[in-house]
Amino acid sequence: MEQCGGIIRIKSQHPKFLSVLQSLDPIGTQSKTFHQQNCTFHKFQENHNLIVSTGYVIAKFAQAINSYNINLINQHIKFSLLQQEDKEIKLNLICLNFDDWIAEKLNNCFIEIELGFIMYFEIPNTNDIKYIQKYCSSLLSQGQEVLTINQSPFLKGKVMQKQYCRKGYVSQIFTNQNQQKQLIMLGLVSQIGQEGGAIFNSKGEYIGILLQNIKIARLNHRYFTFCVNWVTINSIFNKNSPQLSPPYFRSDFINQILNATKYISQGAGQFGSGILVNDQLNKQSYILTANHVLSNNLKGSKLFIGEEQHEAYILEDTSNNMDFSLGKATNYISQGLNIEDGVIFSEVPAVGSTVYAVGYLYTLFQYKPCISKGSVIKIIYDQFNQMVSIVTDCFIHNGYSGGGLYNQYGQLLGIISFNICHSVEGVICDLSYITPIFPYQPVFQDLAQQGNLSQTSKDKLKQEIKLASEIRTLCTLRELPQIGYIPKL
């Protein structure tokens, strides 16, 4: 539970924002130009954390300017994560929203629905951030003891990182049994700035987030502290997930992987896709593709890249490996992926993570490559626990072979190998198999560091992987159980 949260500073000179702060804190215990509140850190993606906090103040501001547009809010409000010695990390708001069921319950209690707004920020992993490890899987019950953990928004320097714990009890609870969402009223009073803090049970499992302390006039101006559980927090975020994938819609990300995708040819009628990888320092270009795309994959065999038909040759015999071939262009070709930029992903992709398959459609090589979005649905390992195939639900078709599978940061995960065919119904396009790039890390390290292949890398390219060969020979859905996988179509 330690250091799983921090303090967010929300600052603006906008008159509407200053008015919100004045109504929130009429006595003036905080500065009138910024507001500070707690937040919690959650694992989001491979190299990123999600920062979560209550969005009451920002929701009130959005209501005042008659716009909940995230871009407009980011223009007027500056968000930052405070560190020691008053240093700040700039944050960008990526989501501000509420849950409809929570809003209904608040409305029934004559409480403004802005109380239920949650805001989300994305931040790269740093050594200073430790995300929450354990989440409560059970629903809370009335009278249950809970622990609130937050930091004081008024302290500075090293003591700013000191966490304060308070015990409390669940005094009232509203539960949506079907979706396990909970709006919880606690038997304690929180202070200004403590909102956004974490709530844990006696086992140290994360329950949810502390909402803004609120005064209810109908109940003799008594103060109440509400919180929502993490299922609700996750539901709000997932509801907005189509808008929370900026790398997919960034033109530079799309252009990079499209430009790096080339069609390759070798001999009459032998076409496929390939991925251009550049060593900018040594001005050398390499082409990655699938073995089965080539009619001749022996060392020194020629192949041609793109419309310009740039000449390249195979570096090593790869006829027995995991459907992976590496060629070297005789001349430097621009617009490829750069080895120096860390484009080769060095971790195993998580099941369920978003991926993009890029390749050419057969007979349409004169046009631009196509891109297909999907998810990782299975990782297949051999008897030595070596990853030999990534299964995705990305659409692929003839011609995609040799193209690339990328994560949402544009990093290469693998080489498109094949899809599964049914002997009667034809091609099942939403079940594709990818040769992972992960086992070939030594190869790319050699190319990046010394510009040629060590003997270890050459042996890796020649290595025979029996299970990988068996996977490539599959042609019908009935044969999938042979490798321990039953598709859900």
pLDDT band at 295 (very low <50, low <70, confident <90, very high): confident
Reported pTM: 0.50
**Pick from 334-348, 380-394, 415-429: least confident:** 415-429
335 secondary structure, DSSP code? S
Which tokens hold the place of 428? 């099942």
Query: What is the mean predicted confidence (pLDDT) over 48-73?
Result: 89
Domain boundaries, the chain: 5-243, 246-483
Residue with more model confidence, 124 or 336: 336
**Per-residue pLDDT, 10:** 93
Query: What percent of the residues of the chain are helix, what percent strand, and what percent coil, each to the nearest 5?
Result: 25, 35, 40
Work out the angle at residue 135's Cα, subtended by the Cα atoms of residues 131 and 141, and round it to the nearest 5 degrees: 140
Nearest to 82 by CA among 38, 30, 131: 38
The amino acid at 318: T
pLDDT tens digits, residue range 131-185? 888 888 888 888 898 888 766 555 444 444 455 677 888 988 988 867 688 999 8
pLDDT band at 234 (very low <50, low <70, confident <90, very high): confident
**Per-residue pLDDT, 355:** 87
Residue with tokens 């030999």: 388
pLDDT band at 483 (very low <50, low <70, confident <90, very high): very low
Assess whether the region 5-243 and the region 246-483 belong to the same CATH fold.
yes
Categorise residue 466: left if φ over 0, alpha if ψ from -120 to 50, beta otherwise: alpha
* Chain-centre distance for alpha carbon 91: 17
Q: How far apart are CA 114 and CA 104, in angstroms?
A: 12
Phi, psi of 92 (to 5 degrees): -120, 120
CATH class for the domain made up of 5-243 = mainly beta
**Per-residue pLDDT, 247:** 37
Does residue 342 carry a pLDDT above 80?
no
CA-based Rg of the chain, rounded to a whole angstrom?
A: 27
Phi, psi of 364 (to 5 degrees): -120, 35
pLDDT tens digits, residue range 92-117? 898 898 888 888 888 877 788 888 99
Are 314 and 298 within 8 A, CB to CB? yes
Q: Is 3.30.70.360 the CATH number for 246-483?
A: no
Residue with tokens 């909402």: 211
pLDDT band at 378 (very low <50, low <70, confident <90, very high): confident
Query: What is the mean predicted confidence (pLDDT) over 475-482?
Result: 47
